Amino acid sequence: MKRSKVWMLASILALGGMSVSTIGTPLLTVQAAEEATVAAKEYHTQGGIANMGSSTANITIKGNEGQTLVGKKFHVYKLFLAQNAQGMESINYTFNPTYEQALKNVAAKALSVPVDDVTEYMVIDYIQSLNS
């Protein structure tokens, strides 16, 4: 359970509001955080792909060997806004305002630092550390 949540959060770092695809999943539930509102939408997949129409990137969710994803639902949260650097050499992440305070609170507690000192990259590093 913990590992799947960690994988999901780490994958979302790359999402930045882009499309999500799943392999062998007939239904994908997406919780999309908008600028000022939070809207929940269900996307039915065609051949395992849910097109959200936001961009050209994708996230692939694969089951373990012998594990089917048919009938499973996945919740996707846009925790960060992602933008390619001008020279395309890196991706710059900023907090999605909807989740900023919650992310800072969790990371601050885990890292034993003041909430106001927590940056996007501290949260990203903390989420990635949960995967090991």
Per-chain mean pLDDT for the chain? 73
What tens digit of pLDDT does each residue of 29-68 get?
333 333 334 456 777 776 677 777 666 667 778 788 888 8
Is the model more confident about 15 or about 97? Answer: 97
The fraction of the chain above a pLDDT of 90, given in percent, is 33
Is the model more confident about 71 or about 13? Answer: 71
This prediction has a pTM of 0.58
What tens digit of pLDDT does each residue of 64-81 get?
888 888 888 888 888 999
Does residue 13 carry a pLDDT above 50?
no
80-84 and 91-95 beta bridge pairing: antiparallel
Three-state SS string over 80-98 comes to: EEEEECCCCCCEEEEECCC
Is the model more confident about 40 or about 16? Answer: 40
pLDDT value of position 108: 97
pLDDT value of position 40: 66
Alpha-helical segments (H) within the chain: 2-15, 100-111, 120-129
